[in-house]
Structure formats: structure tokens, C-alpha cells
């Protein structure tokens, strides 16, 4: 059949049309390094888009490619808090591999040099800039919820602003306490070493007995006062509290703090504590 009379191919069904390019909303970054903490916990370091800006405590949406319907590639996006400092030339993230998870199963299979998309805008309000007053910063985390607090603790202004800084990090088993060496090294960092004595690190392990380590869930440790005893500091009106973890933990800790007459920070009505829920 002559080219000028060749029949046009039928349009593919709508469900087989290629999805929008991830480059419309993000940039393609490369994995620089990977670190395995346990069989389920891992960290990855990505190249940083030159124009990407964020405040410590915020999160980005990451995208990974994989097979989709009809054999077409699809990109799945999930929110991840930055672990790295806002001035670093790379972006660090901390993840747990969820069994059969659509996103984390793909992410965990990637290697150095592979591509991960980073959305062009950072999001979230789990930042110290939201608070008014206060002389003690409390950072309460479970599991991978430690990520935004590691970024916050690399901000020299935070060390200068608060008289006391408490980091409570709750996990199921001792092996899950990722970044322990990084946390131990924080007080000696040259950018804030003069304030290093302000940090009080409280590890919590709930499903394994570890000598000298709290075993209660965070809400219970708040309710019975054991968290304050471990910190040697009162959860009082001068406390400013950021909380990050799974939805149930957020609900339980909010309830425990409210029972102590501490108020949520609502922006227009300044308070004592704030959470981020991007599940």
C-alpha cells in the first residue's frame, strides 16, 4: 500500500495511554550511596537539584518507576522527610521496606546510579519556625519519623535558640536505632559545638529489654513522667514539641500532651506541640 494511502493505526485504549512524564513535576536524580541498617531499614543519598530549597523538617515527594498496566511504565510518588541539612549538596532519606509495598519494594531494589525523581517543591510545617517563644525543644519520634529531626538538628540556629534540646527516639528493637553514631556525634559538630551540651538523647526500645533504656511507648512515658525523668527536664509551658511517627502514635501522644494541659500549635493560636501526618 502506498504511504499516502496507508491506514492509520487505531488509537490505543485510554487505559494504555502513556502516563504523564514524571519530569513535569520533578527532576531525575541519581542515587549516590545506599546504607542498610537492618533487613528492613535503609537510607539513600541522592544528588540534589540545584534549585531545590527546603526548611529543616520539611518533606519531598519521591518518585520511582516500575511496570504499570498494559506493560507501560508508571511512576509512584511518596512523601519522605529530608534527613540532610538544608545546606548540604545532596539529599538524604530514611525508609522502611514495607512487605509487598508498591513504593518501598521498588525503592529497596534500586542501586547506586539508579534514578529517583524528586518533586520540585518541598512541603510541610514540622519546622521550628512555626513556634513562638519557649526555651526547650522536644523532638519525639518513632521509627523512620526520626528523619526530619536529624535535619533540624543540623541547623545551627536551633542550637542557639533553645536552652535545652531533647530527642526521644522510639523503636521496637535496639537494632532499629538507626543513626545512633550520627546522633552521638552531633554535640561535637564545629558549627554548634559551643551549644552541644544542650542535647539530651533518649532512646526507647519497646519490644526488647535493654539495660538503662526506656521501654514504654512515648505516650505512656509522657503520662507517667518517665520521659521527663530521663530528660531531667519538665514538660511545662516552656516546652515546644515536634512529633513524627505513625498515625496511631501521633494520636496517642497528642492525647497524652493534652492531658498535661499542653496545647496544639495552630498557627493563628500559638501552642506547645505540632505534628505532621502525611500518611
Tens digits of residue pLDDT in 23-56: 888 999 999 999 999 999 999 999 999 999 999 9
Rounded Cα gap, residues 193 and 231, in angstroms: 20
Tens digits of residue pLDDT in 147-158: 999 999 999 999
Task: Provide CATH 3.40.50.80 ranges for the chain.
Answer: 128-275
Rounded Cα gap, residues 89 and 151, in angstroms: 13
Q: How many residues does the chain have?
A: 279
Beta strands (DSSP E) in the chain are 26-36, 41-47, 59-67, 73-81, 90-96, 115-119, 136-142, 164-171, 199-205, 239-244, 273-275
205 CB-near residues (< 8 Å, 6+ apart): 170, 171, 172, 173, 174, 176, 177, 213, 214, 215
What kind of fold does domain 128-275 have according to CATH? Rossmann fold (3.40.50)
Tens digits of residue pLDDT in 173-216: 999 999 999 999 999 999 999 999 999 999 999 999 999 899 99
Q: Read off φ and ψ for residue 31, nearest 5 degrees.
A: -75, 125
Rounded Cα gap, residues 168 and 253, in angstroms: 12
Rounded Cα gap, residues 143 and 245, in angstroms: 7
Tens digits of residue pLDDT in 222-269: 999 999 999 999 999 999 999 999 999 999 999 999 999 999 999 788
Report whether pLDDT(70) > 60: no
Q: What's the whole-number mean pLDDT along residues 135-152?
A: 97
Closest CA to 108 of 182, 26, 29, 31: 31
Burial class, 187, CB count within 10 angstroms (exposed 0-12 / middle 13-18 / buried 19+): middle
User: What confidence score (pLDDT) does residue 212 get?
Assistant: 87
- What's the CATH superfamily of 15-119? Translation factors (2.40.30.10)
User: What confidence score (pLDDT) does residue 18 get?
Assistant: 62
pLDDT band at 11 (very low <50, low <70, confident <90, very high): low
pLDDT band at 276 (very low <50, low <70, confident <90, very high): confident
Sheet holding 73-81, edge to edge: 73-81, 59-67, 115-119, 26-36, 41-47, 90-96
User: What confidence score (pLDDT) does residue 268 get?
Assistant: 83
H/E/C letters for each residue in 57-97? CCEEEEEEEEECHHHCEEEEEEEEECCCCCCCCEEEEEEEC
Question: What does the block give as the cell for 195?
Answer: 551549644
Task: Provide CATH 2.40.30.10 ranges for the chain.
Answer: 15-119
Q: Read off φ and ψ for residue 73, nearest 5 degrees.
A: -75, 145
Report whether pLDDT(73) > 70: no
Rounded Cα gap, residues 74 and 189, in angstroms: 42
Question: What does the block give as the cell for 92?
Answer: 538524604
172 CB-near residues (< 8 Å, 6+ apart): 205, 206, 207, 208
Report whether pLDDT(1) > 90: no
CA distances from 45 to 95, 109, 177, 276 (A): 11, 15, 19, 23
Amino acid at each position: 500500500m502506498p504511504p499516502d494511502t496507508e491506514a492509520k493505526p487505531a488509537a490505543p485504549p485510554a487505559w494504555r495511554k502513556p502516563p504523564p512524564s514524571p519530569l513535569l513535576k520533578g527532576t531525575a536524580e541519581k542515587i549516590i550511596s545506599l546504607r542498610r541498617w537492618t533487613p528492613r531499614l535503609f537510607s539513600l543519598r541522592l544528588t540534589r537539584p540545584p534549585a531545590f530549597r527546603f526548611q529543616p523538617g520539611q518533606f519531598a515527594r519521591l518518585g520511582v518507576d516500575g511496570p504499570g498496566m498494559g506493560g507501560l511504565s508508571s511512576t509512584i510518588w511518596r512523601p519522605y522527610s529530608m534527613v540532610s541539612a538544608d545546606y548540604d549538596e545532596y539529599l538524604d532519606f530514611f525508609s522502611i521496606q514495607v512487605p509487598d509495598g508498591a513504593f518501598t519494594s521498588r525503592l529497596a531494589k534500586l542501586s547506586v546510579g539508579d534514578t529517583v525523581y524528586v518533586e520540585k517543591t518541598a512541603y510541610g510545617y514540622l519546622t521550628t519556625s512555626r513556634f513562638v517563644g519557649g526555651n526547650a525543644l522536644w523532638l519525639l519520634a518513632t521509627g523512620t519519623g526520626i528523619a526530619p529531626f536529624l535535619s533540624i538538628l543540623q541547623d545551627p540556629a536551633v542550637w542557639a535558640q533553645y536552652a535545652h534540646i531533647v530527642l526521644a527516639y522510639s523503636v521496637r528493637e535496639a537494632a532499629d536505632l538507626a543513626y545512633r553514631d550520627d546522633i552521638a556525634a552531633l554535640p561535637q559538630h564545629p558549627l554548634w559545638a559551643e551549644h552541644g551540651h544542650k542535647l539530651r538523647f533518649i532512646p526507647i526500645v519497646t519490644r526488647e529489654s535493654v539495660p538503662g533504656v526506656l521501654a514504654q511507648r512515648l505516650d505512656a512515658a509522657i503520662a507517667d513522667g518517665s520521659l521527663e525523668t530521663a530528660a531531667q527536664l519538665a514538660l511545662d509551658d516552656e516546652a515546644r514539641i515536634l512529633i513524627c511517627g505513625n498515625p496511631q502514635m501521633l494520636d496517642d501522644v497528642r492525647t497524652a500532651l493534652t492531658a498535661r494541659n499542653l496545647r496544639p500549635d495552630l498557627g493563628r493560636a500559638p501552642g506547645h506541640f505540632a505534628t505532621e501526618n502525611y500518611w
